[in-house]
Structure 1
Amino acid sequence: MTVRVAAAADFETCLALRYTVFVDEQNVPIELERDEYDDTALHLLGEIKGAPMGTARIVFNDDYAKIGRVCVTKEARGTGLGKALMLEAIAQAKAKDGTRRMILQAQLPALGFYESLGFVAHGGIVMDAGIEHRDMELILP
C-alpha cells in the first residue's frame, strides 16, 4: 500500500475514484462533487498493489488546511488505506509553514475514524449534499 501526492497526470484518476464513491455509491449530485478548489488543492492518491483505491485533497488557507473528498473504494475498505491517506494529509499539513490546524466535515458514520486520528467534533449536524456531517478540527503541534 502506498499513498503519495498525486501528480498532474493522476488528477483524472482521483476524480474517477471520487465519482465512484460519492456519485455512484452515495448519490451526491455530480455538480456538487466537483468544485473550484480542485484546481488548486493538493491531491493524494492511495494505491494497493499499484491499483488506485483511494484519494483525498487538501486545500491550504491562511493558518489551516481543509481536508476533503476523502474516499476509499469498497474493495479497499478495512485495509488501512483511509488511515494511511489521513496520516499523509496530516504530514503534508505539518510540513506547510504557517499551518496550525486542520479542519474537515465528517460524515456521521466516520466520526469515530477521525476521532481516532485526533480530530475533535464541534457544533451540530450540518447537511452537505443531503448527507449529515459534523465539523471537526485537529490542532497541529
Structure 2
Amino acid sequence: MSYKITPTDDLDACMAIRFTVFVDEQGVPAEIEHDDYDMVARHLLATKNGRPVGTARIVMQGSAGKIGRVAVLKEARGKGLGAALVRACEKEMKKLPEVKETILTAQTSALGFYEKLGYVAEGDEFEDAGIPHLLMRRPLR
C-alpha cells in the first residue's frame, strides 16, 4: 500500500473527502457533517502520490480518544486504508499517557470491519444522521 497517513491542519482536504463519502454517497445532511468538534479534533489525512484519499479524526473525551469521521474515497477502498487510518489514530493516541481506551460509533453495516480491529460493540443501537450505529470500545493499553 503506497499511502501516507499523517496528522494534518488541512481541514479543507479532510472535509472534501468527508462530504464526498458521507453527504454525496450516504445522504448525510450537509449541515450536520461539519460540527464544533472539527475545531478541536486532531485530523489525519491519507494521501496517495500527494492526493488526499482518506481521513479520520480524534476527539478527546476524558481518558478515551474517540475515533470518528473515518472516510475513504471509493477509488481507495478495499485496499486496507480504512484499517490503516484507524491504526494511525490509535498510534497518535498512544502518545498521550492519559488515554486508556479508544471509542467510536460505528455504522452497523461496518461492525465487522471494526470487530476485526479488536473493537467490541456495547449498548443499544441508535441513529445518527438517519443511519443505525453502535458504540464500540477497545482498550488502548
What is the TM-score normalised by the length of structure 2?
A: 0.95
CA distance in 1, matches of 2:19, 2:102: 24
- 5 Å-filtered alignment, 1:81-96, equals 81-96=81-96
CA distance in 2, matches of 1:20, 1:101: 29
Give SS of 1:65's match: strand
Give SS of 1:47's match: strand
Q: Which residue of 2 aligns with 1:118?
A: 118
CA distance in 2, matches of 1:107, 1:49: 30
Q: Which residue of 1 aligns with 2:6?
A: 4
Describe the superposition over 1:24-48 as per-residue Cα deviations: whole angstroms up to 9, x where unpaired: 0011001111110000100000112
- 2:93 maps to a residue whose letter is A
Give SS of 2:127's match: strand
Is 1:137 the counterpart of 2:134 in the alignment?
Answer: no
Give SS of 2:112's match: helix
Structure 2 unaligned residues grouped into runs of 5+: none
CA distance in 1, matches of 2:117, 2:110: 11
CA distance in 2, matches of 1:92, 1:119: 17
Describe the superposition over 1:80-134 as per-residue Cα deviations: whole angstroms up to 9, x where unpaired: 1111101100111111120001110001111111111111001121100000111
Structure 1 unaligned residues grouped into runs of 5+: none
Is 1:44 the counterpart of 2:44 in the alignment?
Answer: yes
RMSD, aligned CA: 0.9
| Percent identity of paired positions between Structure 1 and Structure 2 | 50
Q: Which residue of 2 aligns with 1:24?
A: 24
- 5 Å-filtered alignment, 1:71-110, equals 71-110=71-110
Aligned length: 139
Extract structure 1 runs of 4+ deviating beyond 3 A.
Answer: none
CA distance in 2, matches of 1:105, 1:50: 29
CA distance in 2, matches of 1:123, 1:28: 23
